[in-house]
Structure formats: structure tokens, C-alpha cells
Amino acid sequence: MRPIPFVLIALFALACGPTAPVGTSPTVPPVDGSVPTLGPTASGPTPLASRTPIGLSTPTPMGLSTATPVGPAPTPQPTPGSPDTPFGPFARLSSFPADGAMAVTDVAVTPGGFVAVGFGGVGGAASFYSVRQGIVWTSVDGSNWIQSVDPSLVNVEPISVVARGSDLLMAGYISACAGFDDGCTDVPQAGNGIWQSTNGGPWQLLAQNLEMQHGLVDDMFLAADRLVVVGGAGEEDQATVWISPDGVTWTSTTDVAGMETVDSMAVGPAGFSAFGTIYDEAAYDVVLVSATSSDGAQFTTATAPQLLGTGIDDLTAGLAGMAGVGYHLSNLFDQSAAALNSSDGVNWTEASNSDGSFADSALQTVHALPAGGYVAMGYTQRNDEFGTLDGAVWFSADGSDWVLMARLDAGFTALDSSALGATGAVIFASQQVDLPDDDIGSVVLGWFAPLSSIHP
């Protein structure tokens, strides 16, 4: 399921009523819209490479992620929880440095720990509608984080980040215009782009692919050493997959087994595995579709239950094969968690939930544990007037059956991202808050659990 843009979430909050008040810095006007570039600047359409099959190796299991908001952080250091506490092993990241930040949109594992990306407002503005300033956080252990604000990320809203050796690569969206500023003329680079940082150096915008720049970017991940971007292109945002060896030269395909949206994709035993949906006019609902590809250039339909109203939001590969997690919707707001598993990435089976905890819940991200088993992050619905969600974590020994193993100690508006590294698992969520003058902001919530405490 494609992430909901932050502006739309803010509009929903305005329509549904107030949340908790919070202070804010004054909004400042946009600064100069120039964005430094690396490599040849595209004055016309960036040529797409030919569809060359990609050699794949079995990946080190690494989760994908999604989006988040933030606010000022307190100072105490986090204390790891333990499995016998009321909320399980996940302890609050109370010292996460979120000064000037509104969102943490992705977190990923690096050779040295973790990297997270997000945004604030230019000049410290706290409104969702302000011009964006990209922000980067790094951590060696998942508990202690360092924040950096790179001047080269002015006007940038990061979407996704990955680590490849000593390089960090980030997908993001460029705009020098604030929300609802209909009279603003945007910069020529406005739209989606890919940035690179080498050995911790400054972020540099790579030459943009025009199809991607003016399309929709949902996610980015690594397939062996290749970058894979999933999204949409054209007037109707047709489901599109882009693949590149360097972030500059891209091969694109829309041959995705008829999927109208591609909601999740990962590399597994058979190459690429993906899930998406097709709208069934007779059923007045979407139908789950699974696809596979050996090279990422042409996808064919895989074998999976054709479930109505179901989306698989994340996939991962582990010792027992692949696991996918998501949600099932019926009667518009009747939601339950959904999960599938496959030994080969081609033939999928619906997983069970022996403790009944999938009711009124959804799973959003999934990770493979290095010693075997899987852990999924999601939430249950509180059903209050604010639509508050309560974070929860599930475990499966082999992907075929899931049980609730932990709850997070605070409610939030959106579960945004998670990652599992050598030291443990980190989760970020966001809680929207009211700002003066009927404006909307948010605060960030984070949790960490040591790897040794995640096995139930």
C-alpha cells in the first residue's frame, strides 16, 4: 500500500478535530531553490538503458521501510526493556535528537550501524506545509543517534535510504514551494531525485531521470549491488520499476504482471518477488496479486491466494524462505492483519494467527532474524475519536504462524519505519499535534530492542 502523503494526513487531522497542542517556531519564507548536482545534468529525457538481466545473489535479510513525523526530544538515555515487562523488549528512544524535525521517513542498516532520513522545515519551521529541509541521523547501536542537517538537502523531502558499501543512496522529492502556495514557481529540479553520500560526505544530487523525476517514487532497495526504485510513471502513475547500477543510468519496466500498484518487492530465492493489487469491478474491491521475475525486467504471475481487500506492504527473505505482511480491509473500516509465506518466493500460502491478535490490527514492516524466524511491526486500532494506533510487534518461527510478542508504550497517528540490524531493532512512529493558527505538526516516537531480547 502506497504511503499517504504527509499533507493529506494533515488535512485528515484538520477535518477530524484537534490533538494535543505544541509550541512551534515561526514559519520562514523559502530560501534559494538551487540544488547541487553530481554528474551530467539532464536537459532532455535521460536515456534508459537496455533491459539487461541482473545477476542476483541471495541477499542478507534486510527490511524495507516507510514514513514519519517528529518534535523536540527529551534528554534521558533509553533503557532497553526486557521480555517480561508489560510492553516487552522495546524501550522508548527518549533521547532521539529531533530538533527542528517533523518526520523520519526511513531507516536502514549500514555496515556501521543505522542511518535514518527525514525532514523539517527550512529555517526550523514546524508546519507540515512549510518548505522541506532534509535531515539525516546515524547510530552505531540503534539507541544513541546523531543528527545532521546538510545544506545540500534544502528543499528536499527524503523518501528512502539504502547503504551500499561506503556509499549511502537516498531517494527524495524536491520542491521549493510551500503547501497551498499556488503562485509559487518551482525549481527546474522539482520532482523525484537520487542523492549519494560517500564516506559520510555531503549529499549530492545525481543526474535525474525525467520519467522518474515527474513520476511517483514509493520505495528504493538493493538487489545485489543494483538500486531498485518502485513507483509509478506517466499521467496515470502506471506501476513502474526502475533498476540502476549507479543511480544515474536507469532501466525501466511496466511489465509487472498486470499489477495496477506495486506495494512491496524484495529479492528472494527465485529473484524478485512482488505484491500488488488489481481492481476487480465485479467485486468493487482490489484483489491481491503476486509476481516474480528473475531479472527485474519482466514479471510473471506467481501463485498466491487471491484475497479481496488485501495488501502486502512489506517482504523479506530469511532462513525459512520469504515472509510478507500487510492488512485486510472489509466493510471499509473493518481491518485485520494479513501475512503470507513462501519457501521459494513463487508459491505463497496465507499464514495463520494462532493467538487471534490479528483482529483490528495491521502489519506494516517485516524483518528476518539472523538465527531464524521473523519479526513484524504493526499496530492495533484504539477506535477513539482521534484514530489513535497502538504499536505492536509479532513473531513467527517460520512465517507460517504469527503470535503477538510485544506492545509499544505509546499511541501514535502513523507507524512510519523500522529496521533490524546487528545490535537490534528500531521502530519510528509519529503523532500529529496542533500548532497555532489551525496549523498541523507532529512529534516523533522511537523504540529500540536489543537483538537478544527479540526472540520470545
pLDDT digits (tens, 9 = 90+) for 186-195: 999 999 999 9
**What average pLDDT does the segment 14-40 reach?**
38
Q: Coil, helix or strand for 357?
A: coil
Per residue in 100-138, pLDDT (tens digit) is: 888 899 999 999 999 999 998 898 887 888 999 999 999
Please give the single-letter amino acid code of residue 45: P
Look at the block and give the residue holding cell 487471491: 306
Residue 80 reports pLDDT greater than 70 = no
Helix (H) or strand (E) holding 33: none
Q: Coil, helix or strand for 9?
A: helix
Among candidates 173, 211, 117, which has minimal Cα distance to 5?
Answer: 173
Per residue in 311-327, pLDDT (tens digit) is: 999 999 999 999 999 99
> 10 Å Cβ neighbour count for 351?
22
Give me Rg for the CA atoms of the chain: 21
d(CA 314, CA 365): 5
d(CA 101, CA 69): 7
> What is the predicted pLDDT for the residue at 436?
92
Residue 373 reports pLDDT greater than 90 = yes
Give me the DSSP letters along 379-428: EEE--STT--EEEEEEEESSSSB-EEEEEEEEEESEEEEEEE-SSEEEEE
Please give the single-letter amino acid code of residue 23: G
Per residue in 46-65, pLDDT (tens digit) is: 333 333 333 333 333 333 33
Q: What are phi and psi of 330, to 5 degrees?
A: -140, 150
Task: Please report, for residues 227, 251, 253, 311, 348, the alpha-carbon distance to residue 259 in angstroms, rounded to integers and kept in the order given.
Answer: 21, 19, 12, 12, 17
pTM: 0.81
Q: Coil, helix or strand for 65?
A: coil
d(CA 188, CA 214): 11
d(CA 82, CA 273): 35
Among candidates 367, 407, 366, which has minimal Cα distance to 389?
Answer: 407
What domains lie within the chain, and their CATH numbers? 6-17+65-75+88-451 (2.130.10.150)
> What is the predicted pLDDT for the residue at 26?
36
> What is the predicted pLDDT for the residue at 15?
43
d(CA 97, CA 93): 9
8 A C-beta contact, residue 81 and residue 135 = no
d(CA 395, CA 263): 22
Per residue in 129-138, pLDDT (tens digit) is: 899 999 999 9
d(CA 432, CA 231): 26
β partners of residue 264: 275
**What average pLDDT does the segment 202-229 reach?**
97
The pLDDT mean for the chain works out to 84
> What is the predicted pLDDT for the residue at 34?
41
d(CA 51, CA 47): 12
All cell numbers assigned to 154: 534544502
